[in-house]
Amino acid sequence: MKIKKAVFPAAGLGTRFLPATKASPKEMLPVVDKPIIQYVVEEAVRSGVDNVIMVTGRGKRAIEDHFDKSFELEYELERKGKLDLLKKIRKIAKLAYLSYVRQKEALGLGHAILVAKNLVDDEPFAVLLGDDLVYSKIPCLKQLINVYNKYKCSVLAVERVPREQIHSYGVIGGTHIEDNIYQVDELVEKPSPARAPSNLAIIGRYVLTPRIFKALEKTQPDQGGEIQLTNALKILKAKEPIYACEFVGKRYDAGDKLGFLQATVEYALRRPDLASKFKAYLKDLDVNLI
């Protein structure tokens, strides 16, 4: 079955970016001049998935407005003859087919996905987390879809992370199948380095079979009262195989201040309109500024 739908959990409070996220969604923070969420929606579209289900919450209206038509803005840009910008702005509203559903309480990633159940229906689907930006020739989600098309089961994007960071991720233990593909044997959410089955961390891209919804319904909340997707995947694994793909590309944790700064610098350096001036500025930058 073709992957047509992508769920974007976007209800989080963005506490790591306060005060910036007090009144604005963290998904709308710009990397150079584009909100993070737009990069991720573009990745889904480039992967052939243009049916986007956004799981939002209170205070997230700006996301809907961003992907909507903006009559006043378009009128003004047209009137002023700023046609390049006008084209860019119009493209955003046509990027994907968007649906919105609200997660009323912050009960975890697994719960957010469960909220999208009725909109996903009984078909395999993708999940993309806005905190992770992946720069790659073949979109990260497309790499997972290629694995799904071959094995017809859920596929998780994984990356090797240093031991000291392992506690921030869901971690898998796996059997190497071919090239960069593993069959998942073990899953642990945010383990201590001693309990981690490997250094292969799950990053925010998934292809899931619809059976995950049953697993999510059975998943007990963790100590913090949240329903973890990783724990539901454990239940799913008892019923059907799960694969992991060590994707090719550079990932930025844009939900973290340092990762966000790294993404900003590197995405700017890749921009033809900024690269040379920005590079020159960075070269001359006095690192002893303070």
User: Interface with ligand G1P by CB under 6 A: which residues?
Assistant: 109, 129, 131-132, 169-170, 189, 201-204, 228-230
Residue among 207, 227, 231, 58 at smallest CA distance from 128: 207
Residue closest to 114 by CA, chosen among 219, 23, 24: 219
Min dist. Cβ of residue 265 to ligand G1P (A): 21
Q: How far is the CB of 200 from ligand G1P (least distance, A)?
A: 10
CB of 55 to ligand G1P, least distance (A): 13
Q: Which is nearer to ligand G1P, 35 or 170 (CB)?
A: 170
Pick between residue 43 and residue 189 the one whose CB is nearest to ligand G1P: 189
Q: Which is nearer to ligand G1P, 77 or 166 (CB)?
A: 166
Q: Which is nearer to ligand G1P, 121 or 217 (CB)?
A: 217
**Residues 62 and 28 sit within 8 Å (Cβ to Cβ):** yes
Closer residue to ligand G1P (CB): 53 or 166:
166
Find the shortest distance in angstroms from Cβ 169 to ligand G1P: 4
In sequence order, what are the residues at sequence separation of 6 or more whose Cβ sits closer than 8 angstroms to the Cβ of residue 63?
A: 10, 25, 27, 28, 37, 54, 56
d(CA 36, CA 62): 13
Residue of 203, 264, 258, 274 whose CA lies nearest to 29: 264
Min separation Cβ 188 and ligand G1P, Å: 9
Query: What's the alpha-carbon Rg for the chain, to the nearest Å?
Result: 20
HSE value, Cβ hemisphere, 13 Å, CA-based, for 36: 26
Report the C-alpha gap between 39 and 64 in whole angstroms.
15
Strand partners, 178: 181
CB-nearer residue toward ligand G1P: 6 or 268: 6
Q: How far is the CB of 230 from ligand G1P (least distance, A)?
A: 5
